[in-house]
Amino acid sequence: MDSGLTTTDGTKIFLFKQGDVVVGRIGADAATAANGLAAFAVAIDSSGFVSVAQYASLHHGSADNPDTSEAVSIANAALQAVVTVTDGDGDTATNSVNIGSQVKFLDDGPTITVDDIGNGTYTAGGSSTWSEAPGADGFTSLNITLNGYTIDNKTPVIVNNGSLGTDTTTDANGNYVFNGTINDDFNNDGTSDAVSFKLTFNPTNNTYKIDVTSQPSTIINFDTSQGSLAPGGPSPVQQLNFSSGPAAGQSVVFFGAVATAPANLNDGANTPPNDILDLVKLGQPDLSKSDIDALLKPTNQIPTLINGSTQMNVSTSGIGVNNNNLDGSGAGIQSTDESFVVNPSQLVDKVKVFIDNSVGGYNPGTEDLEYRIYYSDGTVSANTKVQAADLTDVTSGVARGGKSFEISDVLGGPQIDAVQLTMANGTIKIPVIQFSIRQAFLPQQLAMNLTATLTDGDNDTKQDPFSITLA
């Protein structure tokens, strides 16, 4: 007899009378269920007392009612109690009554509790405890949702559709893992940054943790088009001053250099300067335009470093020597090649050089542009040719249609103090040079409000709100 009930996974349960006990057995049909596992058993004694034992999880239909107030019953007519009355002289009367609806199986709902993380940090993350019990119906899924967050004392942000995912099983390490990203202004600099995090729930030891998987380093970019030339006429030395933007109060000095001038003699003498590093000046502060001009007038004290008749041109029309181009005289670096040093007053992490195509662009196969890096620790690189693999297409700005290449420091190593560009062969035009400075990310406190939702085998759910604070 079909009991009208199913197991959590939807398999039917059929009733079989075994002696004085009615057993509900699991199977796709009655024939299969005859040898199936027992889901429950019902017995009634002579006094009418009914006993029920449950061995398997039963399906309850209301997912929004995950507690013992919801019950399912055997089909009323599927289970009958037969009552026989015998009088004093042995006469009997028998009657049956449907009692299936009176045999109820109460629901078994999941439980979950997630404790807050109140003292996490962006660098070390944080951890706390949690507990979950899907109950007899078994585990179906765990969902984590980000409901909102607050950065420092700013207005709280409500997150719509903030689900971080739903796990139906653990990963290879036995954990439930959820990843999320928040895009916002974390350090009050007016720029939106992306902070990504990972939540790892361990059901074995009932702990969970948060790790900040990526936080942006703050990159400050500025370029030569944003500066203004310092007063003065034609000169081997020019200076761009920045009055606003990320480089406000800073400057960049350019000077035309003898291409074959020594980069660093390591002789300790620098009065007057006798190598390019003496003009770059180790670290900060740098020599200004007026400082270098004083070495050139009225008498050029540094003819091996700077040709006094050189005119340095700095504009978006081209950064060049004696005109707006940079020209090379032949194969290899020679004294007749044009060369200049660009020396920002700040130490930088990257220099990006833009080459437009107004004079044919730059072809490494037939031309030779070389660069040399002066580092903040006093070391100087060898001249390095810009190869085709170094070039990237420029799709916007004054160099649109041309190419660019980057000169970078090594993360954790010395920064770039200055760069020398030398055209050994060919002609190029450089309209803009960009500088980048990598700064530490110093975020403000982040408080996140989340909800954990545990779903059991018959889709009952239980939620628990929790919070995580990072500072």
Chain segment 157-202, per-residue pLDDT in tens: 999 999 999 999 999 999 999 999 999 999 887 778 899 999 999 9
The residue to which tokens 């030398």 are assigned? 422
Q: Residue 69 has what pLDDT?
A: 60
How far is the C-alpha of 380 from the C-alpha of 385, rounded, in Å? Answer: 15
Q: How far apart are CA 355 and CA 363, in angstroms?
A: 11
Of 32-46, 138-152, 270-284, 314-328, minimum mean pLDDT range: 270-284
Is pLDDT of 293 > 60? yes
Decide if pLDDT at 376 tops 70. yes
Token digits of residue 14: 């059929």
Nearest to 456 by CA among 17, 97, 8, 153: 8
Contact between 342 and 351 under an 8 Å Cβ cutoff? The reply is yes
Structure tokens at 317: 């029309």
Residue 364 and residue 386 in contact, taking contact as beta carbons nearer than 8 Å: yes
Interatomic CA distance for residues 453 and 137, integer angstroms: 16
Alpha-carbon dihedral of residues 257, 261, 266, 270, nearest 10 degrees?
-50
Output the six-digit token pair for 134.
Answer: 């899907």
Distance CA 463, CA 286 (A): 61
Q: Residue 82: which pLDDT band, with cuts at 50, 70 and 90? A: confident
Cα 458 off chain centre by: 36
Query: Tens digits of per-residue pLDDT, 274-287?
Result: 999 999 998 778 99
Q: Using CA atoms, how far apart are residues 234 and 115, in angstroms rounded to an integer?
A: 70
**Nearest CA-CA partner of 382 in 261, 278, 263:** 263
Q: For residues 447 and 93, what is the distance between their CA atoms, to the nearest angstrom?
A: 74
CA angle 420, 421, 427 (to 5 degrees): 165
Exposure string over 231-256, b if 16+ CB within 10 A, otherwise e = eeeebbbbbbbbeeeebeebbbbbbb
From residue 391, how far is each of 279, 356, 431 by CA, in Å? Answer: 29, 12, 16
- Using CA atoms, how far apart are residues 380 and 265, in angstroms rounded to an integer? 11
* pTM of the complete model beyond 0.85: no
Give the pLDDT of residue 67.
Answer: 55
Contact between 231 and 289 (Cβ < 8 Å): no
Tell me how far apart the terminal alpha carbons of the chain are, to the nearest angstrom.
64
Residue 216 is classified by DSSP as: P
What is the rounded distance in angstroms from the CA atom of residue 60 to the CA atom of residue 107?
Answer: 6
Copy the structure tokens of residue 235: 């000169």
Edge-to-edge strands, sheet with 21-26? 2-6, 12-18, 21-26, 38-44, 50-54
Cα distances from 123 to residues 106, 126, 214, 220, 441, in angstroms, run 48, 9, 10, 22, 11
Hey, is 114 helix, strand or coil? strand
Model confidence pLDDT, tens digit, residues 389-433: 999 999 999 999 999 999 998 877 899 999 999 999 999 999 999
| Token pair listed for 50 | 């009914």
Secondary structure (3-state) at 329: strand
Task: Count CB neighbours of 428 within 10 A.
Answer: 27
Pull the structure tokens for residue 124.
């070390």
Domain with CATH 2.60.40 in the chain: 111-215+445-470
**Percentage of the residues of the chain whose pLDDT score is greater than 90:** 72
**Share above pLDDT 70 across residues of the chain, in percent, rounded to a whole number:** 97
Residue 57, pLDDT above cutoff 90: no
Structural class in CATH, domain 111-215+445-470: mainly beta
